[in-house]
Structure 1
Amino acid sequence: MAEEFVNQLLSKEANEAPSDTKKIDELTPELPEWFDEVKFSQARRFYWHNCYGLTSAMLLGLVNVLAVPSILRILVGARRSNDVYPTFKRYVSTFIHAVSWFESELKPGSRSWESLLKVRQRHIRMTLAAKVKGQGLISQRDLVLTQFAFVGLTILKHDKFGIQTLEDDDWEAYNQFWRVIGFMIGIKDRYNICQRTIKETRQVCQLIVQRVYTPCLNDPPEYFEYMARIMLEGVASTNPTVDTPSLLYWTKYLADVPGYVYTEEERKEFQRLLRKKLNGCSDETGVDSTLLISKSAVEDLPGHKRLLFVRDYDSFKTVPEYKQLPLISKSKLVLNSFFTSLYTTKFGRKFLNTMFLLSLNVMKQYPRIAFFIFNLKVSLAKIFNYPLDNTGLKPNSSFNKISSN
């Protein structure tokens, strides 16, 4: 069942079906017939109990989305997405929209209702602009892969974010919440990844990771590094716990990209896997990373080859992806487990949720402070020759060169 659904979702038909068939002035939002107000309210309570952990998962999910060529192409081509400051403002807006869906009841005239209408209108405008520039369109497939950003990692890897339930059926309620949100932004029921039950949704999300996000992050399209860093650096302006290199590593680790390991046991197991794939060949023979993952179900990946060597996994110090991280980023990865454990305690949950709410308040009520901090960071980065500035897009190789020095 899940396999058939994902095949349909990743089909040419879904990729060519526009996100909306209506014009902006023709939009008349309405709730789906299967809307359950009780479950919707329950999901909202569940979110605020886990707002720090759930929003952290959403942030990494949005990094995933940038690795999808068709989506990245639209964002790169958008006037507000090719420089640091405009892109930062776009993602501040995205987070404020997403959080607003949990802040009020979903009914005509409410803040969440108006927000969802604006998001749908934005997608229509972006599609029109992309068509004019010959960059394609925002498709139903693109919408759904973006929907995954907000719910996929949460459902699949909730233990990595310290998520806790208040009631036995909280996950069913949360699943229904995002099914409704998908419907409201224009996703057809036949493509909505949030199925009728949380079990079905988990199966669908796992297949999407295997067939889309693992291969896309294993061989990301050009400008992925630049766009991902812009977004993460922007969030760091209001949340000092955010560290860009470590979060990029963590994102690829959660997407099961070959070579990204987090524990000593994972390192040893991955080295054993590489030896098994060599099938008796010399350890000096590299293993093509694509042999360890599913074939990509999306088009236009660069086709770069990543060779993984047994010797590189003798210890964490020799793991290439880990070795290139700055010392502060390595420390942040270590702290990640601590914060996850802390979040499962009463005090830790209250503290981290409060810190999240404070940073959210800064973005909403005092955006000029956030923008000032961000532009100050960009100026300092430029002084120290870090390739993150307002001069336009940087190719992935710009960041790879820095990592290899």
Structure 2
Amino acid sequence: MNDQAYGDDNNHEPGYSTIDENISSSATAFHEPQDVHRLVQMFQGVVDDMPSDFDSLMQNKPDWIDPEKLKRGQQFALEHYFGVSFSKILSLYILFALSHNGLDTLIYTRMSDTPYKAYRRYYATSDIIKSWMETDILTPETKGNKNMRRVFQMHQKVHEDLLQNPIIDGQMEPRCTILGKPWYTATLANLKKDFKCISPAPTEINSLLERQKTVFNQCYLTTTQFGFFGLAIVYPEWFGIHDYSRQDMEDFVHLWRTIGYLMGIKDEYNFGRGTLDEVKERSKWLIRVLVIPKFREITEKWEHMSRCAAEGVRMYMKKSLSFESSFCYLCDILGLKSTNVKKTIGFRKYIYLWWLRFFMKYLLKWNLFNLRKRLNRYIFKSMKTAAEELNNENIQIKLLNKFIKYEQTAAV
């Protein structure tokens, strides 16, 4: 990491306002014509499918890929692994809300529609992403590159399946159940009350979405790419990411720009393209004009899959937050009103949210007792334990039985 200090709760880049000034205040604002124009440009990608050949991507890598910058980006991600991982978990709620078709596709795969399935899926995803941080993703036959190919081929398979068997409206609701019942609670109604003042997304977007042939198009891929690093670069202090230089953050973005390319994202759609200032501005813009408005449209399917994800992650990351706590924290980050939900979470969880904010913004900034390294070690140890448990049939039977009881309770 470079010596020049760049990350600070009280320091903001020239031209950027604080969260309250720049994003949350626009939750009820009218969308400017230039916002609509940029969204329309971005959503042109719904008719531009992902490429079909991973080998071609490997053989024709663009000149902008810098192996040294990539390595430094990997090192930064590993040094801040706890915060980066936490940001990705919260980003799931955003990605589930951004695209109804994307959410339907996730349900279609039937890999994370119950807590037990989500536990296996999101551990596997975490392990894959960790390999992208630890090994050379540009060299064939490394663990990271093999996993890159594996994910690309998995996307391609689902893409081809959906072309042959497209999802019909209403088809996914019956699949989005636990023991035959959808898993949603009074939390959803309270969230809808809290979010009713949010202005809707521009109507032009709906007509563009109707043109998409399948979910694995350039637009979907780039918004998913945003989910892996967008929150971390816009709100680093909320995830305990401090004491970094500008170059550190540029390298981190370059890492995800490169991963985006290897996932089949064309340069004109790649969310990591341009300077750091441009990427941060693009991220803030997307949050303001699309992410926040999309929370106005959350559904029972959204809550079901979000709860499954949160509970699944908690099975291998024991100290991970509950759905209510983690989503309330996301609302605080985005400056979204969540008064009605917070009234229902209980006094202990409400106080814990304030403690968590203090912990992330200040204790990790001071890094007392090497907190950052200790938290990183906790994540790595949890993943190692999960890997051992996944290969132990007896433990899996116990976990599955535990989940069955849990799911029976959730379905009541």
Q: Which residue of 1 aligns with 2:386?
A: 363
Q: Which residue of 1 aligns with 2:105?
A: 74
> Could you report, residue by residue, the CA deviation over 1:316-366 in whole angstroms, capped at 9, with x for unpaired residues?
xxx312112145532431331243133221421122111111112123343
Superposed, 1:289-308 pairs within 5 Å as: none
C-alpha deviation, 1:128, in angstroms: 1.5
Change (3 A) 1:25 1:246: same
Which residue, 120, 131, 139 being the options, matches 1:89? Answer: 120
Which residue, 50, 56, 76 being the options, matches 1:46? Answer: 76
Change (3 A) 1:387 1:213: farther
C-alpha deviation, 1:209, in angstroms: 0.9
Q: Which residue of 2 aligns with 1:162?
A: 240
Q: Which residue of 1 aligns with 2:165?
A: 133
C-alpha deviation, 1:218, in angstroms: 2.7
C-alpha deviation, 1:109, in angstroms: 1.8
Q: Distance in 2 between matches of 1:5 and 1:43?
A: 32
Contact kept, 8 Å, 1:343 with 1:352, in 2: the verdict is: no
Q: Which residue of 2 aligns with 1:184?
A: 262
Change (3 A) 1:177 1:381: same
Contact kept, 8 Å, 2:73 with 2:252, in 1: the verdict is: yes
Superposed, 1:1-400 pairs within 5 Å as: 6-7=38-39, 10-11=42-43, 13-20=44-51, 22=52, 28=58, 30-67=60-97, 68-106=99-137, 107-135=139-167, 136-244=214-322, 245-257=324-336, 259-260=337-338, 319-340=339-360, 341-344=362-365, 345-347=367-369, 348-368=371-391, 371=396, 374-375=399-400, 377-382=402-407, 385-387=409-411
C-alpha deviation, 1:220, in angstroms: 1.0
Identity among equivalent positions (%) equals 22
Contact kept, 8 Å, 2:119 with 2:316, in 1: the verdict is: no
Contact kept, 8 Å, 1:6 with 1:204, in 2: the verdict is: no
Secondary structure of 2:133 counterpart: coil
Q: Distance in 2 between matches of 1:23 and 1:139?
A: 15
C-alpha deviation, 1:233, in angstroms: 0.6
39-48 vs 212-221, greater mean Cα deviation = 212-221
> Could you report, residue by residue, the CA deviation over 1:171-191 in whole angstroms, capped at 9, with x for unpaired residues?
111111111111010000000
Secondary structure of 1:366 counterpart: helix
Change (3 A) 1:45 1:24: closer
Contact kept, 8 Å, 1:50 with 1:353, in 2: the verdict is: yes
TM-score by length of 1: 0.73
Q: Distance in 2 between matches of 1:329 and 1:133?
A: 44
TM-score by length of 2: 0.72
Contact kept, 8 Å, 2:90 with 2:330, in 1: the verdict is: yes
Secondary structure of 1:66 counterpart: helix
C-alpha deviation, 1:47, in angstroms: 1.2
Secondary structure of 2:134 counterpart: coil
Q: Distance in 2 between matches of 1:359 and 1:119?
A: 23
In structure 1, the gaps of 5 or more residues are: 261-318, 389-405
C-alpha deviation, 1:84, in angstroms: 3.5
> Could you report, residue by residue, the CA deviation over 1:276-322 in whole angstroms, capped at 9, with x for unpaired residues?
xxxxxxxxxxxxxxxxxxxxxxxxxxxxxxxxxxxxxxxxxxx3121
Contact kept, 8 Å, 2:112 with 2:309, in 1: the verdict is: no
Secondary structure of 2:101 counterpart: helix
C-alpha deviation, 1:8, in angstroms: 5.2
Q: Distance in 1 between matches of 2:54 and 2:273?
A: 28
C-alpha deviation, 1:15, in angstroms: 1.2
How many residues align structurally? Answer: 325
**Counterpart of 2:382 in structure 1: which amino acid?**
S
129-138 vs 24-33, greater mean Cα deviation = 24-33
Q: Which residue of 2 aligns with 1:273?
A: none
In structure 2, the gaps of 5 or more residues are: 1-33, 168-213
> Could you report, residue by residue, the CA deviation over 1:187-211 in whole angstroms, capped at 9, with x for unpaired residues?
0000011122110000111111122
Change (3 A) 1:381 1:45: same
Change (3 A) 1:326 1:127: farther
Contact kept, 8 Å, 1:237 with 1:373, in 2: the verdict is: no
User: CA RMSD of the aligned region, Å?
Assistant: 2.6
